[in-house]
Amino acid sequence: MTTKPFSYLPIVLRTDQRDALLVGGGQVAVQKMRLLKGRCRMIHIWAETLHPELAALVEQGQAVFRQGRVAEDALQAVLPDMALVFAATDDEAVNEMVARQAHALRVPVCVVDAPALSSFITPALVDRSPVQVAITTGGASPVLARRVRQMVEAMLPARMGEAARFMQKQRGWLKDRLPGMKQRQRVWESFVDGPAYEAALAGEEDRAREQLEQLVAEAEGEADCPQGEVWLVGAGPGNPDWLTLAALRLMQNADSVLYDNLVAPDVLDRVRRDAERVYVGKKRSHHTLPQSDIEAEMLRRARRGERVLRLKGGDPFVFGRGGEEMETLLAAGVPVRVVPGITAANGCAAAAGIPLTHRDCAQSCVVVTGHARADGTLNLHWPSLARRGQTVVIYMGLSSMAELCRKMQDHGLPESWPVAVVHRGSCADQRCVTGTLGTIAEDVRRQGLQSPVLIIVGEVVHHRGEVVQAVPGYSTSKESA
């Protein structure tokens, strides 16, 4: 029988001015004590016997020991003074009683290995105090949480806590120098991204302070007219694991983000939470904003000092109108950064296990748009597309697929020429339909594929392989007509 998973809200709870209760005195209680030690005013341990490590804590005056079996009436008197309580005994009846009383008095309680009785669970913790990283799977798999903790431990510098304490000491005078929160935020971002942070990590506080003061002086010089800029960033085909490191960094530093319907929700979740999000997506026959208005919005925001992230599916310079936007911005004197992304052609083909080139059948690859004119016609150079020995990748061709296939046959390719249509390549709901120029339009209609799709035409489709994606659950199973 399957049960609905519990829902948890990760929070950071202040406990330095409150006491905590630990019911139990064995090895499991020791593990919970290690979490509480140094994080609350006093630890109250209620147990019949004490593990030596708990006894040592009591001798050091960091814990109070109450010996004996937990009595329900006595527990009712103690609980209201506690910030939280752990029930860590090997007696299920005692654990259930502690949980019941805690719930009644609205005191947060964790019963070890019994999430159904608990109002909170403890995460796997990476401690670089005052920096702490909590990792939880919502109780689904503590082993997985520990594995993630190992990965995070390897990523974070051992002396990160020292750098954090240095930054904390500078907050007062920095607020006096730069009253504007946005200015201070930019200074800290520049600090963390540059050599000043490395100096703080190394414990070289004088050098770190000198470089921080230089950043502040630069920010004061821009106080009246802060310099905004626009970042044209490729979000890739949809799988968030395929974002570039540069894209992730800018996504965390942007003040606002303009995004379209090709940016997957999982990718948008990587944008920092307090950035303003503006949807400017375009769908067939429905434009949320005309292109000129999108460019005007980027200009408006950059001129008032914002760092504007223009997040585009795939790559901004491959059918993303990034070139037009760059020219408009530069002509207006707005600085522009461009971060490429994995193109839809590369990403969708790879996700579907289709090589774009192959020495046996495709010595070149042509990328075109299948977007039709207003009158429904396609203005493509058909003789150069309908050739053997190459792969043709077609963007935005779903609505024109029947005409695309017909034109390619009219210009020399056989009806049996292989075609693949990839829907939401690299994403969890990816689908791939394979067929031929003579059948694919009907195959896709019958399968009910919707935009966005990518069309791959050529003998490379015959070389399609079953590939394992970077994220478990991302499937490339074949759906041939």
CA-based nearest residue to 99, from 75, 118, 116, 77: 118
pLDDT of 350 above 80 = yes
CA neighbours closer than 13 Å in the CB half-sphere of residue 174: 24
Q: What is the pLDDT, as a whole number, of residue 423?
A: 96
* Tokens 């067939």 belong to residue: 284
Q: What is the pLDDT, as a whole number, of residue 282?
A: 63
Tell me what percent of the residues of the chain surpass a pLDDT of 70.
93
Neighbours of 56 (CB within 10 A): 12
Contact 13, 107 (CB under 8 A): no
Of the pLDDT bands very low, low, confident and very high (cuts 50, 70, 90), residue 176 is very high
Arithmetic mean of pLDDT, 138-155: 90
pLDDT of 404 above 70 = yes
Of the pLDDT bands very low, low, confident and very high (cuts 50, 70, 90), residue 475 is very low
Average pLDDT of the chain to the nearest whole number: 91
Q: What is the pLDDT, as a whole number, of residue 275?
A: 93
**Among the ranges given (212-226, 277-291, 307-321), the one the predictor scored with the smallest mean pLDDT:** 277-291
pLDDT of 473 above 50 = no
pLDDT of 106 above 70 = yes
pTM of the model: 0.75
Q: What is the pLDDT, as a whole number, of residue 472?
A: 37
Of the pLDDT bands very low, low, confident and very high (cuts 50, 70, 90), residue 480 is very low
Of the pLDDT bands very low, low, confident and very high (cuts 50, 70, 90), residue 477 is very low
Of the pLDDT bands very low, low, confident and very high (cuts 50, 70, 90), residue 479 is very low
| CB proximity list for 368: less than 8 A, separation 6 or greater | 380, 385, 392, 393, 394, 395
Of the pLDDT bands very low, low, confident and very high (cuts 50, 70, 90), residue 471 is very low
Of the pLDDT bands very low, low, confident and very high (cuts 50, 70, 90), residue 381 is very high
pLDDT of 10 above 70 = yes
CA neighbours closer than 13 Å in the CB half-sphere of residue 105: 22
Instruction: Give the integer Cα–Cα distance in Å for 310 and 292.
Output: 14
The residues annotated as belonging to the active site are: 260, 282
**Among the ranges given (3-17, 102-116, 123-137, 235-249), the one the predictor scored with the smallest mean pLDDT:** 3-17
Of the pLDDT bands very low, low, confident and very high (cuts 50, 70, 90), residue 481 is very low
**Among the ranges given (114-123, 193-202, 280-289), the one the predictor scored with the smallest mean pLDDT:** 280-289
Task: Tell me which of 299 and 225 has the higher pLDDT.
Answer: 299
**Among the ranges given (39-43, 181-185, 242-246, 318-322), the one the predictor scored with the smallest mean pLDDT:** 181-185
Contact 467, 354 (CB under 8 A): no
Amino acid identity at 300: R
CA-based nearest residue to 220, from 277, 180, 273: 180
Arithmetic mean of pLDDT, 23-33: 96
DSSP 354: -
Of the pLDDT bands very low, low, confident and very high (cuts 50, 70, 90), residue 2 is very low
